Amino acid sequence: MSNSDPIRVMLVDDHAVVRSGLKAFLMAYDDMNLVGEASSGFEALALLDKVRPDVILMDLMMPDMDGAATTKAIRERNPDIQVVVLTSFPEEDLVTQALQAGAISYLLKNVSANELSEAIRKAHVGRSTLAPEAAQALIHTTTQAPKLGHDLTVREREVLELMSKGQNNVEIADALVVSRSTVKFHVSNILSKLQSTSRTEAVALAIENNLVKRSN
């Protein structure tokens, strides 16, 4: 690619209104081209070879396959593609998961157009950009002992939340629109990460460590 070629940008977000806003944003810059958009992680992976993006703007909270898992899969398949996480959530565990998955940058959705465009340009040449909240979260995680449940994925947290409401695997599968075997896999991971021998113990630990909301 020559220096004069526009940066090929792909959008991954399950909210159509967000993708629409980002498309309008990209149209304002001559050095960027929107080459594809996806509403899920699986759709993003299916589009990769077809649209060949340089930089991907990645949402974190998506059904079935979250942004961190999607980022990891993309980077494993094509490490030349840079992923810029664009989310509403600055929590430490999410920042850590995204960066460990291979994202080069972590920005919040209240970022300005100029800041986002500059982050895309920096990502294209291998330079990182972190929202102040994300940078602070990252600093904090390096100075604190890991908390119980720190390694739970976004999807595992969703499953754990439903477990805390007393839902069984069938009900959780229906609520999240995934297979029962997928839920069973997530529950097994949750028990392992929380060092629990039962669902009841896992939920009790989750409540005690503020991993789920307490029921009224």
- Give residue-wise pLDDT tens across range 123-156: 999 999 999 888 887 777 666 667 789 889 999 9
DSSP 33: E
Q: Where are the domains of the chain?
A: 7-143, 154-208
Three state DSSP letters for 119-150:
HHHHHHCCCCCECHHHHHHHHHHHHCCCCCCC
Question: How many Å is the maximal CA-CA distance in the chain?
Answer: 59
Cα separation of 119 and 100, whole Å? Answer: 19
Cα separation of 109 and 11, whole Å? Answer: 13
Question: Could you tell me the two tokens for 57?
Answer: 């703007």
pTM, full prediction: 0.65
Measuring CA to CA, how many Å separate 196 from each of 180, 182, 186, 200, 203? 21, 19, 14, 9, 9
pLDDT string in tens for the chain (216-residue length): 445 799 999 999 999 999 999 999 999 999 999 999 999 999 999 999 999 999 999 999 998 899 999 999 999 999 999 999 999 988 888 888 899 999 999 999 999 999 999 999 999 999 999 998 888 877 776 666 677 898 899 999 999 999 999 999 999 999 999 999 999 999 999 999 999 999 999 999 999 988 987 665
Question: Could you tell me the two tokens for 149?
Answer: 């449940």
Which element (helix H / strand E) includes 172? helix 169-176
Cα separation of 17 and 11, whole Å? Answer: 12
> Contact at 8 Å (CB) between 27 and 71?
no
Cα separation of 56 and 103, whole Å? Answer: 9
CATH class of the region 154-208: mainly alpha
- Give residue-wise pLDDT tens across range 152-170: 999 999 999 999 999 999 9
Q: Which fold has domain 7-143?
A: Rossmann fold (3.40.50)
